């Protein structure tokens, strides 16, 4: 297998085109997908771009934006010996207000949600509570499991599922240093490119859906520069081998069937209007928050000194944080962005910034 | 702070930065770290050196716990034998003999232990290195997972080489594709269909030839933490900057795909039969000729510079430059 979209000769060709149309002023482009953060750092793409073009990471890692409160609730539920908490590995060390799931015994790491459902079927005397997180990419698989297992009474979720476009709008409303967006490839495979229209039309931010190889990211960068220099601001799809403007209609329908969209808290960003997936009333028995009467105190999303909030808003770099690589490491994360391999601080820790 | 409540986690054994720190802390509690004429725990090399008469003797020990115990390209026995032989060989020492100790879980199949023993015997005969002492313990079910093996080895130093000696101007060589061992085990664990096999091999036969040539400054077999940890260790110990080009680092196509799928970087994944050398540029051709005889994938991957001291810089496939860091911990424990 060849990874052709990484080849330096192709990269150099696009870089030449970028240099040709590069205006002299500073341009800040935000990506909102952890896989983009990884590509950019792993292939050291920043080191190749002209100095006035800045690639920054936004709130593109679902683990990072999951509120501490949801972890606190899961930890409280995990004290009940009739409960098994399931989570994907990348959220295992996500700190709540006090501690993470890594410290509890009845927590199981799963690789696919089917395993969690399977666990519920095999353990009818236990309640399986899945910490469901992720954007529009992973939310449909949660929806499908719920639709297909309506006979189950012992499978529940704590939904931290979030919608990306409202967060992008929230950011441009509050932060004027973002000039354009590299829109997420996987999320857009589900939602299509239409939900970004407002960013282009109302907020005048070029928005290009990009794939995950170095050539993709640079091509998207080029398309953004072209829009800016010709003042023709719009939504475009670079990742056309996977994304259609209308998205994945089947998946979108499943989402509509299972979830309502409500205002939701994003760790480090605060409450964002109409940005969270909540189970519809008729699926209430799957909602762990409705089934278990769990009290937790005040939750703390961001610990003193931690800059994860500003980092996800594009106002700070991981290296600006006093905890980075000192008190905060992937083994013992202080802030949420250090936990998952998609988190901006974790990526910067592994590949440098 | 009062009594320390810090618990040891799998990260402390994963071969990355966490393990380095943990080992340093532990070793600092040992006061006598070497014999008067030798080098020992103070250097944290693959083997300690002590002088008997005029002869420099290398002594090393290693413990092996791996899941699964039989894997494509080897088994825990072959791993335990070759790992210790390699620790001696990369110190420029001719291995003389090994010890062998088993901790076996109650209930383990006898035929599996015999199969492991036969595999060790095969390696011993192939390399002509005898096993002259041993020990066996059986523990209650659940106290270990099937079997843990410890081997120690003793050898005579024939060639002066050290990971503290890489010099600016040296050329860096790797003796074959990297990450095969770790990724083939992960492929097996995750049920991937794959032809990828562990590179688990005794390196003495190669090194026996290499040490006839002058100009090798440092020599190391990348194990846990893979090529990245190995290069970083050499850069730190030699206080030099190492530059490598990703396109010149041999990685098998299957290893790339398995790595991409699991989010594991082959450059940060264990090898068990590869060598990383820093060599004088005038000796490169001779050394490459020998290494290529054993493995066609042998490649010049970069060079040693003065700065940045203690760091490894990688030029990625796309041409960008960044630090190549040691892995932090390991998502997948018990690979070697």
Q: Could you tell me if A208 and A225 are in contact, meaning their C-beta atoms sit under 8 angstroms apart?
A: no
C-beta atoms of A331 and B253 within 8 A: no
Which of A43, A349, A350 lies nearest to residue B316, judging by beta carbons?
Answer: A43
Contact B223, B271 (CB under 8 A): yes
Residues B225 and B311 in one domain: yes
**Alpha-carbon distance B316 to nearest alpha carbon in chain A (angstroms):** 5
Element (H, E) at A16: helix A8-21
B332 lies in a domain?
Answer: no
Residue A263 dihedral angles phi and psi, to the nearest 5°: -60, 145
pLDDT, one tens digit per residue, over A244-253 is: 999 999 999 9
A249-258 and A139-148 are packed helices; what angle lies between their axes, rounded to 10 degrees? 60
Q: Do B102 and B236 share a structural domain?
A: no
Within 8 A by CB and 6+ apart from A74, the residues are: A85, A87, A96, A101, A129, A131, A158
Chain A residues whose C-beta is within 8 A of a chain B C-beta are: 1, 3, 6-8, 11-12, 41-48, 89, 214-215, 329-331, 341, 349-352
Which tokens sit at A273? 């209007």
Confirm whether B328 is domain-assigned: no
- A135, pLDDT greater than 60: yes
Tokens at B73, concatenated: 């390209």
Q: Is residue B68 part of a domain?
A: yes
From the number of C-beta atoms within 10 Å of its C-beta (0-12, 13-18, 19+), residue A114 rates as middle
Identify whether B252 is part of a domain.
yes
The rounded distance, in Å, linking the Cα atoms of B123 and A228 is 65
The number of residues in chain B equals 336
Contact B325 A41 (CB under 8 A): no
| B76, B176: one domain | no
Cα distance between residue A293 and residue A167, in whole Å: 30
Residue B120 maps to a domain? yes
B152: confidence class by pLDDT, cuts 50, 70, 90 = very high
Domain boundaries, position B295: 171-323
Q: Would you state the structure tokens that stand for residue B156, as one six-digit string?
A: 């005579």
- Of residues B77 and B15, the one with the higher pLDDT is B77
Co-location of B180 and B91 in the same domain: no
pLDDT band at B1; cut points 50, 70, 90: very low
Q: What is the pLDDT of residue A327?
A: 87
Highest mean pLDDT pick, A155-169, B22-36, B62-76, B320-334: A155-169
- Both tokens of A272, joined, read 């964002």
For the beta carbon of residue A290, count every other beta carbon within 10 angstroms: 13
Q: ∠B203-B206-B208 over CA atoms, to 5°?
A: 105
ipTM: 0.81
Are B317 and A352 an interchain contact pair (Cβ–Cβ within 8 Å)?
Answer: no
Cα distance between residue B126 and residue A128, in whole Å:
53
Q: With bands split at pLDDT 50, 70 and 90, how would you rate the model's confidence at A80?
A: very high
Helices (H), chain B: 17-27, 76-89, 110-127, 180-189, 204-210, 226-238, 253-262, 284-294
Residue A214 to residues A38, A117, A219, A243, B51, Cα–Cα distance (Å): 10, 37, 9, 18, 54
- B260 with B128, same domain: the answer is no
The pLDDT, as a whole number, for residue A2 is 56
Model confidence band, residue B212 (pLDDT cutoffs 50, 70, 90): very high
For residue A67, pLDDT over 70 is answered with yes
Q: Taking 70 as the threshold, does the pLDDT of residue B2 lie above it? A: no
Return the CATH number at B214.
3.90.650.10
* pTM for the full predicted model: 0.85
Count CB neighbours of B285 within 10 A.
8
Q: CB of B183 within 8 Å of any CB in chain A? A: no
Query: Are the CB atoms for B220 and B276 separated by under 8 Å?
Result: yes
Co-location of B141 and B231 in the same domain: no
Calpha distance B20→B76 (Å, rounded) = 24
Indicate whether B218 and B131 sit together in one domain: no
Give DSSP secondary structure letters for A69-109: HHHHHHHHHHTSTTEEEEEEGGGTT---SS--GGG-SSEEE
Contact yes or no for A1 and B253 at CB 8 A? yes
Q: pLDDT, tens digit, for every residue of B213-223?
A: 999 999 999 99
In CATH, the architecture of A65-163+247-291 is: 3-Layer(aba) Sandwich (3.40)
What pLDDT shows up at residue B336? 59
The pLDDT tens digits of the residues spanning B250-298 come to: 999 999 999 988 888 999 999 999 999 999 999 999 999 999 999 999 9
A73 contact partners, CB below 8 Å, separation of at least 6: A158, A288, A289, A294, A296
User: Domain tally for chain B?
Assistant: 2
In a domain, B8, yes or no: no
Which of the listed residues B94, B128, B157 is the one where a domain comes to its end? B157
**Of residues A344, A220, A1, A214, the one with CA closest to residue B316:** A214
Name the residue among B253, B319, B325 with its Cβ closest to that of A350: B325
Chain B CA closest to residue A47: B320
Segment among A3-7, A131-135, A266-270 with least mean pLDDT: A3-7
Interface of B with A in 17-36 (CB under 8 A): 18
State in Å, rounded, how far the first CA of chain B is from the last one: 35
- CA separation for the pair B159, B58 (Å, rounded): 11
Could you tell me what percentage of chain A is helix, strand and coil, using 3-state DSSP and rounding each to the nearest 5? 45, 20, 35
- Longest Cα–Cα distance of chain A, Å, equals 66
pLDDT for res B335: 62
Give the pLDDT score at A3: 64
- Within a domain: B14: no
Q: Which residues of A fall within a CB distance of 8 Å from B328? A: 329-331, 349-350
Model pLDDT, residue B331: 54
Are B176 and B317 part of one and the same domain? yes
Spatial CA neighbour of A197 closest among A231, A222, A168: A168
Domain stops at, among B113, B131, B157? B157
Q: How far apart are CA A224 and CA B143, in angstroms?
A: 59
Question: Using the beta-carbon criterion (under 8 Å), do B318 and A8 form an inter-chain contact?
Answer: yes
Task: List CB contacts of B114: < 8 A, sequence separation 6 or more.
Answer: none
Where residue B150 sits, what CATH number does that domain have? 3.30.1330.10
pLDDT of residue B189: 85
Domain identity same for B152 and B249: no
Q: Looking at the structure, do residues B151 and B276 belong to the same domain, yes or no? A: no
Q: Which two tokens stand for residue B124?
A: 């011993």
Say which of A8, A44, A215 has its CB closest to residue B322.
A44
Residue from the list A3, A44, A329 with its beta carbon closest to the beta carbon of B321 = A44
Query: How crowded is residue B112: how many other Cβ atoms within 10 Å of its Cβ?
Result: 16
Q: For Cα atoms B119, B125, B131, give the angle at the middle one, nearest 5 degrees.
A: 80
* Domain parsing of chain A, residue ranges: 65-163+247-291
Question: CB burial class (10 A; 0-12, 13-18, 19+) of residue A204?
Answer: middle
Q: Do A89 and B257 touch (CB under 8 A)?
A: no
Q: Which of A129-138, A170-179, B164-173 has the weakest average pLDDT?
A: A170-179
CA–CA separation, A242 and A238 (whole Å): 9
Cα A37 to Cα A29, A130, A339, A351, B10: the distances in Å are 12, 26, 14, 10, 27
Q: What is the distance in angstroms between the CA of the first residue and the CA of the last residue of chain A?
A: 29
3 state DSSP class of A238: coil
Query: Rounded to the nearest 5°, which phi and psi values hold at A183?
Result: -85, 150
B263 touches chain A (CB under 8 A): yes
- Phi, then psi, of B70 in degrees rounded to 5: -110, 125
Give the mean pLDDT of B141-151: 94
Same domain, B207 and B147: no
pLDDT > 70 fraction of chain B, expressed in percent and rounded: 95
Q: Among all chains, which residue has been given the structure tokens 């292939």?
A: A43
Is B236 found in the same domain as B117?
no
């Amino acid at each position: 297998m060849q990874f052709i979209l990484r080849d330096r000769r192709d990269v150099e060709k696009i870089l030449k085109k970028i240099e040709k149309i590069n205006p002299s002023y500073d341009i800040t482009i935000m990506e909102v997908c952890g896989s983009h953060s990884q590509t950019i750092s792993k292939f050291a793409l920043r080191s190749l771009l002209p100095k006035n073009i800045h690639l920054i990471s936004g709130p593109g890692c679902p683990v990072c934006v999951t509120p501490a409160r949801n972890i606190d609730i899961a930890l409280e539920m995990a004290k009940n010996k009739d409960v098994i908490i399931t989570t994907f590995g990348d959220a295992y060390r996500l700190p709540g207000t006090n501690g993470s799931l890594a410290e509890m015994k009845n927590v199981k790491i799963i690789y696919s949600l089917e395993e969690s459902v399977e666990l519920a079927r095999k353990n009818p005397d236990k309640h399986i509570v899945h910490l469901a997180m992720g954007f529009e990419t992973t939310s449909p698989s949660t929806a499908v499991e719920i639709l297909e297992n309506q006979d189950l009474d012992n499978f529940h979720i704590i939904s931290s599922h979030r919608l990306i476009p409202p967060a992008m709008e929230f950011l441009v409303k509050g932060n004027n240093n973002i000039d354009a967006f590299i829109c997420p490839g996987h999320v857009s495979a589900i939602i299509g490119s239409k939900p970004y229209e407002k960013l282009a039309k109302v907020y005048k931010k070029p928005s290009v859906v990009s794939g995950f190889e170095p050539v993709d990211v640079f091509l998207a960068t080029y398309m953004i520069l072209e829009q800016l220099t010709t003042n023709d601001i719009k939504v475009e799809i670079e990742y056309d081998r996977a994304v259609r403007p209308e998205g994945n209609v089947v998946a979108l329908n499943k989402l509509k069937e299972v979830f309502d969209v409500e205002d939701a808290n994003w760790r480090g960003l605060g409450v964002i209007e109409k940005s969270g997936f909540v189970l519809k009333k008729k699926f209430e028995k799957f909602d762990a928050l409705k089934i278990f009467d769990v009290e937790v105190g005040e939750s703390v999303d961001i610990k003193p000194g931690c800059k994860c909030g500003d980092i996800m808003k594009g106002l700070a770099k991981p290296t600006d944080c006093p905890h980075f690589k000192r008190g905060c490491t992937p083994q013992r994360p202080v802030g949420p962005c250090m936990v998952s391999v998609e988190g901006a601080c974790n990526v910067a820790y592994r590949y440098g910034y | 702070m009062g009594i320390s409540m810090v618990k040891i986690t799998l990260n402390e054994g994963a071969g990355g930065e966490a393990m380095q720190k943990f080992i340093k802390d532990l070793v600092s509690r040992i006061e006598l770290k070497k014999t008067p004429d030798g080098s020992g725990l103070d250097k944290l090399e693959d083997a300690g050196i002590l002088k008997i008469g005029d002869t420099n003797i290398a002594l090393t020990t290693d413990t092996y716990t791996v899941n699964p115990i039989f894997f494509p390209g080897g088994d825990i026995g072959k791993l335990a034998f070759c790992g210790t032989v390699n620790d001696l060989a990369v110190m420029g020492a001719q291995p003389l003999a090994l010890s062998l100790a088993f901790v076996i879980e109650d209930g383990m199949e006898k035929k599996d232990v015999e199969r492991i023993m036969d595999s060790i015997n095969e390696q011993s005969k192939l390399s002509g290195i005898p096993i002259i002492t041993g020990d066996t313990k059986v523990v209650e079910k659940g106290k270990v997972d099937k079997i843990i093996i410890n081997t120690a080895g003793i050898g005579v130093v024939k060639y002066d080489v050290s990971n503290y000696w890489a010099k600016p101007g040296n050329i860096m060589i790797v003796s074959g594709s990297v990450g095969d061992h770790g990724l083939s085990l992960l492929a097996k664990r995750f049920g991937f269909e794959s032809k990828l096999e562990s590179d688990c091999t005794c390196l003495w036969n190669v090194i026996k030839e290499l040490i006839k040539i002058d100009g090798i400054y440092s020599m190391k077999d990348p194990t846990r933490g893979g090529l990245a940890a190995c290069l970083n260790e050499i850069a730190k110990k030699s206080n030099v900057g190492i530059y490598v080009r990703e396109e010149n680092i041999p990685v098998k196509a299957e290893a790339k795909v398995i790595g991409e799928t699991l989010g594991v970087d082959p450059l940060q994944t264990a090898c068990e039969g590869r060598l990383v050398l820093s060599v004088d540029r005038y000796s490169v051709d001779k050394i490459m000729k020998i290494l290529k005889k054993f493995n066609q994938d042998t490649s010049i991957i970069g060079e040693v510079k003065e700065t940045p001291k203690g760091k490894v810089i990688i030029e990625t496939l796309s041409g960008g430059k960044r630090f190549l860091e040691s892995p932090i911990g390991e998502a997948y424990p018990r690979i070697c």
